[in-house]
Amino acid sequence: MSSPSASDAPAPPSNRRFSRSKRGKLRNGTFILPGTGERVRRQITLRNPSNFDGPGRSVSTDSGILPLRRAYSQAGTFRTAVDNITEAWWESWAWMHTPVAKGIFKCSLAYLLGSMATFLPPLANFLGHQDGKHLVATITVYFHPSRSQGSMQEAILLGLGAFFYAVFISVSSMATSVFFESQLGMIELGYVLVLIVFVGGGLGFVGWFKQRYNAPLVSVSCSLTSLAIITVLTKENAIQVGVFSNDKIIQVMKMVLMGMASTTLVSLLIWPISARTEIRETMIQATDSLSEMLVLITRGFLSGSETELKSANFNKAQGRYKSVFSRLQTNLKEAKFEHYLLGTEEQYKLQASLVTCMQTLSQSIGGLRSAATTQFSLLQEISGAATPLSIQVSQQLGDLVAPKDQSRSDRDRFDTLTAIEEASEEGSGNEDHMNEEIDPLTRTDRQESAISLASSMPARTPSEIFARFIMHLGPSMKSLAYTISQILQELPFGEGPRYEIKINSHFTTSLTEALKLYSSARSDALKELYRSKELNRERPESIEADFEEVASSCGYFSFSLEDLASETQNFLSILSEYQEATEKPNSRSWNWLRFWKEQKQRYERGSNTVPEEEEALIPKPQQSVLPKDVPELMLERRKTRQWQSSISEENNKRSMYQKILNLVLFLSRDDIRFAVKVGLGASAYAMFAFIPLTRPLYQHWRGEWGLLSYMLVCSMTIGASNTTGWSRFIGTFIGAAIACFLWSITQGNPFGLALCGWLVSLPCFYIIVARGQGPFGRFIMLTYNLSCLYAYSLSIKDDDDDDDEGGVVPIITEIALHRVVAVLVGCAWGLVITRVIWPISARQKFKDGLSLLWLRMGLIWKRDPLSTLLEGESTNEYMDLREEFALHQYVLRLDSLRSAAMSEFELRGPFPAKSYERIMESTNKMLDSFHAMNVVIQKDLNASEGETLLLKYTADERAQLCSRISHLFQVLASSLKLEFPLSDAIPSTSNARDRLLAKIFQYRKNVARVEQDPNSPVVKDEDYEMIYAYILVTGQLAEELKRVEKEVEDLFGVMDENLFRLV
């Protein structure tokens, strides 16, 4: 086959740049070099190696048709295998140097140290002649050392808190039993009180606490305290015989301290992890992702093509930022413990401000993406599918600025080029020089002349408006985006491992100068844009709406870019303060220890003392994550309000009724019901340990491990219990099988058991640390400890009545069988309690909660966000920060319910997880739109004179649009709640929105020309930012509501006559 000729190969870069210069490329823009503050005027590119895939591989003359395919002979097969093995080895070696691999090794080493409490005679004797010494190794599994120093501090606090709570319950139970036995001689009544108050109430509170905070460390702490309480109350004989014995309590205290000491030493001495360092590294990754997204969004908007926003590079950058920001919040929480311990809490507050500012930056970039997406969809809708949008815009932009004598062949050749032709910076100088040799008139002069000529020609179509806007403001947009992206790439810290604060002294001045240039160019561009439109022509309302929507999208994108620059300035300011705080001598204060002074200062300043930068990160209302009834966002019930409003007679009697009502409402909360049923189930299970006839059976089959399994399995919803129960059951089987196999190999040799235990811990900690499946990995290790380590304790003659399992010659199969049966019974009991007593279906709660969320969103939008700026027009606020935070936390709870619903089995079939995932995705986007509107409103709660005129002029149209959107939310919520088909005549928002857009167009056409003085205009360009954001948000809401409507129709169908047949 003949090889490709030279003519078929891509043209050299210089030729391509020369050819592109013939076509109307955007004029050179003035931009600021952020590192030096130098003002430069030349062609720049937003491409960089991280987001540019480069041209396709050219096929050389020597290559075959498949140049990437390797041809191996049979003689080379062995060499290939060797190469593959070598490559796999080096990849494994590289992985072993990653933080995850180091964390797994640290965990296994801590476990090995914890197991020494069982195998080393001095440590075993220190813990006494009782079994249960494997708890030390279990604690190292629960509180593993693969965490930062701050997280380790939190783990120590929670572990000690769990121990002290277990001591309180144990001592109180013993005191109750001793009192009823020695003083009253009614030990049976003491059993009843212990079962109801301390077993039921104590373990019920543990279950409530675990669901209340719903954090991994809290969960393992609750498991630890459950283990200690169950062991003392049901396994030991002190309470059953009515005597006070602190032997087990002291042993548990020693084991907790030894386990925490082992994991803490490994965490702090071997590859220590500092959250203060980790947060700096994640900030670097976050700013890099923001910079890359900014470049891609700007390039996509300027080109008029959404290819950039749908590219793999943009999806990678966006996904990378989401994962990095979640780690950033976790690192910030852990860094708080480190800063407070070191006395540098002021640095923590500034770090919290930086994280909040970065979140604002991402939201501003999200606003840019929303404006660009709206622009793409609008222009595609207008232009239709006949010609790609980027080609149309390119042609129109080329017609505006291209020389008239350009040959048709050249035009055809470059018709597929995008609106922004990004020449390479390295070759821009040569390209300009070549153009100057060809034509005595410089390219810049020719472009300026062409633009001046094009500006005098009126824009007749929305796509021409977009091309005209890009022609005027494109270079300035590109220049500002370049400056911001370069600053974000350099900030905020230097290279590791020290990650010193790195602020270039020219950044602030460079950004300020770039912002001034952009603001001036934006104002001129918007004036030229509306001057070019044929305002005097009469058009249909839909055409006027299209004109105004294109203009509003362009205007909002320009305003959002300016806001992003302002937020970057704020980020630089906070970073400078943070640098000053770190360099300040004697900056350690430990003011948090003087909490009484802090409380006094808060009282003097008032209740609103939480800094704005911390309010979204450390919020006061933790209720949003409470496992209460899902309708938590609901307003007070109507009947309750009516009853309260009618309390005017018989105050005492009605006051008593009101207290009863409050009590009933309190007991009807899901978290209270959950705590009660957990306590009832625990009391019923532990009852067999207090009945003389059943106690031997309870001890023989190790009922305490069944009760512990019950506590671990019990979850708020049926689906969550099914998931945990399955993991617990499978993990127990695997751990028991491994224990039997290794015991048969080692025959109880402590050195062999220690080595084998360390090897077993490696894959288990891989499951816990690398895969994130903590419960599954912990259950395997827990069962292994309960079998192998417990069997070794028996073999060294620990004083315990365990002859049924072999005594000093332990029968490992009997031990493993008892554990497996106990776990199986406990899991089954937990599933029964969860499903029978006040069952909480995750499916139903998810649907109820999502319906309620939509109703609340409809009520929020019904307030009309912009009416809150007009005095006297609205008595309700649009949405404050606490309400917004509660809504986002509510969505997180709904996501957890959706995940749990996937594990619930019903006769109606499996849960449609994919459909509801798409619905939740649209709901999140709608909440983001709510936030975007809130950001614009919160900038200035006092409307300017121009904004007031514009808002009053469009009041009726906005009210109709808000009512239509609110109505759609209510219809969708009702259909989801009732699981009923939708009507086929659901109202649309398009007409109401078109009327609003046409009204704004008419305002510019009529009112603006009559009422405004050209010398001192009332309505300025910036006055339109608010209404532009409103138009953009309503468009996004309408689009997402259509998607949700389609998903609901797929789930429940469309209403027809067959549904209403009368029988």
Tell me the per-residue pLDDT of 344-369, one tens digit each, with 9 for 90 and over: 888 899 989 999 888 888 888 887 88
* Nearest of 426, 589, 571, 403 to residue 493 by alpha carbon: 571
**Whole-Å CA distances, 154 to 68, 521, 791:** 53, 52, 33
12 residue type, one letter = P
**Average pLDDT of the residues in 611-635:** 38
Picking from 172-176, 256-260, 905-909, which range would have the lowest pLDDT averaged per residue?
A: 905-909
CA separation for the pair 93, 100 (Å, rounded): 13
Cα–chain center distance at 95: 27
Burial level of 98, CB count in 10 A (0-12/13-18/19+)?
Answer: exposed
Cβ-count burial 562-576 (b if 16+ within 10 Å, e if not): bbbbebbbebbebbe
The pLDDT confidence band at residue 1047, using thresholds 50, 70 and 90, is very high
**Whole-Å CA distances, 422 to 16, 42, 114, 349, 1050:** 11, 11, 62, 42, 45
**Whole-Å CA distances, 345 to 276, 448, 588, 620, 908:** 12, 56, 8, 19, 54
| Contact criterion met (CB below 8 Å) for 984 and 1054 | yes
Given a cut of 70, whether residue 1037 has pLDDT beyond it is yes
**Whole-Å CA distances, 791 to 494, 646, 757, 784:** 54, 69, 13, 10
The pLDDT confidence band at residue 885, using thresholds 50, 70 and 90, is confident
Is beta strand 39-42 parallel, antiparallel or unpaired with respect to 29-32?
A: antiparallel
Q: Which CATH class is domain 279-383+391-407+460-583?
A: mainly alpha
Please report the pLDDT score of residue 185 as a whole number: 83
Given a cut of 90, whether residue 760 has pLDDT beyond it is yes
- Answer with the residue of higher pLDDT: 421 or 243: 243
Please report the pLDDT score of residue 263 as a whole number: 94
Given a cut of 80, whether residue 534 has pLDDT beyond it is no
The pLDDT confidence band at residue 27, using thresholds 50, 70 and 90, is low
Averaging pLDDT over each range in 542-551, 562-571, 677-686, which range is the top one? 677-686
For domain 842-1060, give the fold.
Methane Monooxygenase Hydroxylase; Chain G, domain 1 (1.20.58)
Averaging pLDDT over each range in 278-292, 585-599, 1017-1031, 1045-1059, which range is the top one? 278-292
The pLDDT confidence band at residue 707, using thresholds 50, 70 and 90, is very high
Given a cut of 90, whether residue 682 has pLDDT beyond it is yes
Residue 855 in 3-state DSSP?
Answer: helix
Given a cut of 80, whether residue 700 has pLDDT beyond it is yes
Given a cut of 70, whether residue 609 has pLDDT beyond it is no
Given a cut of 80, whether residue 427 has pLDDT beyond it is no
**Average pLDDT of the residues in 770-790:** 89
Please report the pLDDT score of residue 222 as a whole number: 92
Please report the pLDDT score of residue 1029 as a whole number: 81
The pLDDT confidence band at residue 1015, using thresholds 50, 70 and 90, is low
Please report the pLDDT score of residue 85 as a whole number: 87
Given a cut of 80, whether residue 469 has pLDDT beyond it is no
Please report the pLDDT score of residue 965 as a whole number: 92
Percent of the chain with pLDDT over 90: 22
Please report the pLDDT score of residue 443 as a whole number: 45
Q: 293: which residues sit within 8 A by CB, 6+ positions away?
A: 314, 317, 318, 321, 365, 369
Averaging pLDDT over each range in 935-944, 950-959, 1005-1014, which range is the top one? 950-959
**Average pLDDT of the residues in 11-18:** 37
Please report the pLDDT score of residue 645 as a whole number: 45
Given a cut of 90, whether residue 687 has pLDDT beyond it is yes
| Contact criterion met (CB below 8 Å) for 521 and 531 | no
**Average pLDDT of the residues in 168-186:** 89
Q: 869: which residues sit within 8 A by CB, 6+ positions away?
A: 937, 941, 942, 943, 947, 948, 951, 1026
Residue with structure tokens 């620059």? Answer: 565
Please report the pLDDT score of residue 1018 as a whole number: 64
Given a cut of 70, whether residue 575 has pLDDT beyond it is yes
Please report the pLDDT score of residue 373 as a whole number: 81
- Tell me the β-bridge partners of 39: 32
* Nearest of 21, 58, 13 to residue 424 by alpha carbon: 13
Percent of the chain with pLDDT over 70: 73
Tell me the per-residue pLDDT of 80-106, one tens digit each, with 9 for 90 and over: 888 888 888 888 888 888 889 999 999
Q: What angle do CA 684, 687, 691 make, to 5 degrees?
A: 150
Please report the pLDDT score of residue 1063 as a whole number: 57
The pLDDT confidence band at residue 475, using thresholds 50, 70 and 90, is confident
Picking from 153-167, 906-920, 1003-1017, which range would have the lowest pLDDT averaged per residue?
A: 1003-1017
Picking from 183-197, 241-255, 640-654, which range would have the lowest pLDDT averaged per residue?
A: 640-654
Picking from 173-177, 683-687, 716-720, which range would have the lowest pLDDT averaged per residue?
A: 716-720
Given a cut of 50, whether residue 66 has pLDDT beyond it is no
Please report the pLDDT score of residue 496 as a whole number: 67
The pLDDT confidence band at residue 417, using thresholds 50, 70 and 90, is very low
Residues of the chain with CATH 1.20.58: 279-383+391-407+460-583, 842-1060
Tell me the per-residue pLDDT of 295-311, one tens digit each, with 9 for 90 and over: 999 888 888 777 888 88
Picking from 45-54, 623-632, 908-917, which range would have the lowest pLDDT averaged per residue?
A: 623-632
The pLDDT confidence band at residue 1007, using thresholds 50, 70 and 90, is low
